[in-house]
Structure 1
Amino acid sequence: MAHAHDHHEPLGEDLSRAAQATLERAGEQWTTMRASVFAALAGFSKPASAYDIAESVSKSEGRRVAANSVYRILDLFVASNLASRVESANAYVANAHPDCLHDCIFLVCDSCGQTTHLDDDHITRGVRSAAAAAGFAAERPVIEVRGRCAACGSKARA
């Protein structure tokens, strides 16, 4: 049985406002470029690379945006809990609840790339406890499970 926690997940402008409030509480500015990068990231249905985001922002702003600039902003977003990095894909997803700080579990479909984010505090507490028992201070556990999503799994059986 999963021990997930419940919380409201804002969407669209509400998500952008929640991200802005979280970043500003951390003492950072919500600049036009940061807002554009967050909007682009939140607009992807799958994890997006810095290059995907740079291309999206470049198209929407009508000027070239360098991936290096996007990487710096994404690093800030990850540090501020506005985004999570899907390590195995070298890509990012917007955090649907930036006010909630917890460890994430990602289910990554090897067929279509769809990534599902799970919150299961029981599992992540277990990972942190196992690390502590081994004398290791887990600062940012990332759990990724690779496989097939339900849609791709049913296609393979058809």
Structure 2
Amino acid sequence: MAGHDHLESGSEELTRAAQAQLEQSGEQWTKMRESVFTALAGFSRPASAYDIAEAVSLAQDRRVAANSVYRILDLFVGNNLARRVESENAYVANTHPNCRHDCIFLVCDACGTTTHLDNDSITAAVRTAASDAGFTPERPVIEVRGRCAACTAGSN
């Protein structure tokens, strides 16, 4: 699955792809789910449920509870519309919701930017190593912490 396109985060095209993916799985694309996805896709860094609840609350001029957002995020992760960045307890919109594969996240400790990489040979090697150890991998999470190019250049 190395050759696939990523859609621009926050774009109408990404929102339409997410809607199609969710509906294809038999779920409904409600106004609230669209609002949560739009807010999530609008962040340039991983967003917590509280960040998203605040953004949706501001956009709708009414209070939205974080636990409602958590339920929607769980649905999104389960349907490949979002990815959870474990070390940040935060989420990013999946820019290729119709493609299922393992992802690698590069997380900048200085600015919080998270870059998504696709490298099927690395993730396949992780799955193989787990299987060789008698473990059944279901959802490998690979995160590399460090400094992004912009923060590295800024510190010189």
Same fold (TM > 0.5): yes
Matched, 1:116 2:115: yes
C-alpha distance in structure 1 between counterparts of 2:130 and 2:6, whole Å: 30
CA distance in 2, matches of 1:106, 1:85: 10
Residue 105 of structure 1: CA displacement? 0.2
Cα RMSD (Å):
0.8
| Residue 127 of structure 1: aligned partner | 126
Q: Which residue of 2 aligns with 1:21?
A: 20
The residue that corresponds to 1:148 in the other structure is 147
Aligned counterparts of 1:119 and 1:8: Cα–Cα separation in 2 = 11
Aligned position for 2:67: 68
Paired with 1:136 and 1:32, the residues of 2 have a C-alpha distance of 40
Per-residue Cα deviation, 1:6-37 (whole angstroms, up to 9, x for no partner): 22222311101100000011110000000000
Once the two structures are superposed, what CA deviation does each residue of 1:94-143 show, in whole Å capped at 9, x if it has no partner? Answer: 00000000001000000000000000000000000000000101000000
Query: Where does structure 2 lack aligned partners over 5 or more consecutive residues?
Result: none
Q: Does 1:9 align with 2:6?
A: yes
Structure 1 counterpart of 2:89:
90
The residue that corresponds to 2:77 in the other structure is 78
Find the aligned partners of 1:5 and 1:129 in 2 and give their Cα distance. 18
Output the TM-score relative to the length of structure 1. Answer: 0.96
Instruction: Give the distance between the partners of 1:149 and 1:8, measured in 2 at CA.
Output: 22
Local SS of the residue matching 1:107:
strand
Could you tell me how far apart the structure 2 residues matched to 1:123 and 1:93 are?
A: 21
1:35, 1:19 → 2: CA distance?
9
Residues paired across the two proteins, number: 154
* Distance in 1, Cα, partners of 2:3 & 2:94: 15
Distance in 1, Cα, partners of 2:131 & 2:138: 11
For 1:66, give the aligned amino acid.
A
Q: Within the alignment, does 1:33 sit opposite 2:71 as a pair?
A: no
Read off the aligned partner of 1:8 and give its amino acid letter: D
Structure 1 unaligned runs (5+)?
A: none
Please identify, of 77-86 and 10-19, the stretch whose mean Cα deviation from structure 2 is larger: 10-19
List structure 1 segments (4+ residues) > 6 angstroms apart after TM superposition: none
Calculate percent identity across the aligned residue pairs. Answer: 71
